[in-house]
Amino acid sequence: MRKKLIIPALAALLLWSSCTADISNAELRAGYPPIYPDYCGVTVPCNIAPMHFQMSDNAIQVRVMAEGADGKSIRVKAREVVTFRISEWKDLLASSTGSGLQVTVQAKYRDKGWVRYDPFTIYVSPVPMNDFLVYRLIAPGYEVYSKMGIYQRDLGSFLQTPLLENTLIPGNCMNCHSFYGNNPDKMSIHIRGELGGTILKAGDKIEMLNTKTEETGGNCVYPYWHPSGEYVVYSVNQTIQAFHAIRERRIEVIDLASDIVVYHPQSKQLLTNDLLRTDAFETFPSFSPDGRTLYFSSSQSQNIPEGYDKIRYDLCAIAFDPQTGTFGDHVDTLIHAAAMGKSISFARPSPDGKHIMFTLSDYGNFSIWHKEADLWLYDLEDGSLREMKEVNSNDVESYHSWSSEGTWFVFSSRRLDGLYTRPFFASIDKEGNITKPFLLPQKKPLEFYNMTLFSYNVPEFVTGKVDWDLKEVEKSLTTGQRDKVEIRR
């Protein structure tokens, strides 16, 4: 009997000693630990989900201590993924708001034993970002579709729930989604295909629209809500998809024609103006936070496809009167990008109206496949331009949107593997300081991002969970009944 007890006890002692004995002698190594995702020195909002990570090298064991400003700490031992309990993580963030967490990583290697890296800091901003992120998951960049969906992710946890998947409406494609001022109650989604139409959700009410008119010649595509919620501006695009020959470039989506219209849901009318429906290409519209200016990208038309690389979009603006739904009598060019040999897409004004964030690429509007595409900031007060070097990489940075408080923004980047876009978050303060971006946290980040074969497309912040009756949406889609919209001049 004694023998039976002694042997397991000795084994346990041996195991314990093997785990602990050599750690105090860990070799110190200058530099931050090689972790995935790279969270060293990032700034996070105080409401972010636990930022699990793992060693991106061949470490066989990891010990981590995350220490808050008040001395509270979490200790984690892991073989693979360093995970933090959600309650402990929330406590730690709460106690470190305005300062940061110091994370010390010790890793064990088969050949070197234990190694201790320089501690790194995760700064915790007191400003929370919006609680949810809505995005489309789609195979990268192709026009024939089989599987795609729009999903919402609780940013304080790992919960992702679908808003709509095209398994419900097979053979149809879900286009851009847009929310009224990050409000989950008011949204617009366009569906392409046999059951195509524009879904407009306002509170519990769901409307299905046919936005194609003889005069506009196509459906409303890229949406942006007016800050009053009374209007939605859309571009109407006729596009083709074309393919590059060389290995450095891949796909272009080129406008054959594009104009801008403003939809007034109350009267079911489209407002147009000759200045927004010219022979030039007008696209990617957005409203200023005061609702009195309409921004858009505009390019001289070119012969397609041979002139594809001469299409360069300037950033333009036109006055808009929300009371009457009328437009100004002239268009201002805010940034003459074509003169710089560049092209602007996705102009998104900050909620405080001080900046416009946009994507700058060499030509065209399909910046999502342009490796040179980067984020830039236009200062509306002094008219200065600034490259957002803090967040740009050698690969694509493209679609971006603001959190409602105007500090946080999310953007799509292909920096991880050059193929699949992933959402990154960063913040900008009143002085214009931009923080190092961080990747959307996942339970098992490396496994998750390596395994998924879908891109995160059009990431948009929302302040709460989008709550809609999926059966009602499905019914509205499948009945085929669509409210016609009319043109108002």
Interface contacts to another protein, rule CB under 8 A: 139-140, 142-147, 149, 162, 164-165, 167-170, 240-247, 249-252, 254, 305, 308, 416-420, 444, 447-448, 450-451, 453-454, 470-471, 474
**What are the Cα distances from residue 376, in Å, to 290, 326, 457?**
22, 30, 19
Burial (CB count within 10 angstroms: exposed 0-12, middle 13-18, buried 19+), residue 210 = middle
Question: Could you tell me which of 96, 487, 49, 26 has the C-alpha nearest to residue 269?
Answer: 487
- For another protein, which is the closer residue by CB, 79 or 484? 79
CA distances from 352 to 244, 290, 380, 407 (A): 40, 9, 11, 10
Pick the closer one to another protein by CB: 239 or 398: 239
Whole-angstrom CA distances from 65 to 42, 48, 105, 158, 339 are: 17, 19, 7, 22, 52
CA-CA distance, 188 to 468, in Å (whole number)? 12
- The residue type of 267 is S
| Nearest distance from C-beta of residue 53 to another protein, angstroms | 16
CA distance 205 to 326: 27
- For residue 219, the minimal CB distance to another protein (Å) is 16
CA distances from 254 to 80, 275, 304, 319, 432 (A): 44, 21, 8, 27, 34
Strand partners, 315: 297, 335
Instruction: State the minimum distance, in angstroms, from the CB of residue 368 to another protein.
Output: 14
- Torsion 348-350-356-359 (CA) sign: negative
Name residue 78's beta-bridge partners: 62
Task: Please report how close the Cβ of residue 395 comes to another protein at its closest, in angstroms.
Answer: 9
Nearer to another protein, 113 or 305 (CB): 305
- Shortest Å distance, C-beta 117 to another protein: 24
Q: Shortest approach of another protein to residue 309 CB, angstroms?
A: 8
Report how far residue 179's alpha carbon sits from residue 402's, in angstroms, rounded to the nearest whole number.
12
∠ Cα 158 161 167 (to 5°): 140
d(CA 217, CA 237): 9
Q: Compute the least distance from the CB of residue 451 to another protein, in Å.
A: 5
Q: How far apart are CA 71 and CA 92, in angstroms?
A: 9
Closest approach, Cβ 337 to another protein, in A, equals 21
Smallest distance from another protein to CB 221, Å: 18
91 contacts: CB under 8 Å, gap ≥ 6: 72
Task: Indicate the residue among 123 and 449 with the shorter CB distance to another protein.
Answer: 449
CB-wise, 182 or 343, nearer to another protein? 343
With respect to another protein, which residue has the nearer C-beta, 127 or 251? 251
Those residues whose C-beta lies under 8 Å from the C-beta of residue 47, and which sit 6 or more positions away, are 93, 128, 129, 131, 155, 156
* CB-nearer residue toward another protein: 32 or 308: 308
Task: Output the smallest distance, CB 180 to another protein, in A.
Answer: 25
Tell me the closest approach of the beta carbon of residue 448 to another protein, in angstroms: 6
Q: How many alpha carbons fall within 13 Å on the CB side of residue 397?
A: 24
Output phi, psi for 49, to 5 deg.
Answer: -65, 160
Q: How far is the CB of 310 from another protein (least distance, A)?
A: 12
331-347 exposure pattern, b = at least 16 Cβ within 10 A, e = fewer: beebbebbeeebbbbbb
Strand order in the sheet with 486-488: 251-264, 269-271, 486-488
Between CA 355 and CA 305 the distance in angstroms is 34
Residue 104 Cα distances to 79, 179, 288, 423, 442, angstroms: 16, 40, 44, 26, 20
Measured from the CB atom, the residue of 116 and 371 that comes closer to another protein is 371
Cβ at position 169, least distance to another protein in Å:
8
Q: Which of 96, 258 has the CB closer to another protein?
A: 258
Q: CB-wise, 418 or 432, nearer to another protein?
A: 418
Residue among 433 and 478 whose Cβ is closer to another protein: 478
CB-wise, 316 or 439, nearer to another protein?
A: 439
Residue 94 or 304: which CB sits closer to another protein? 304
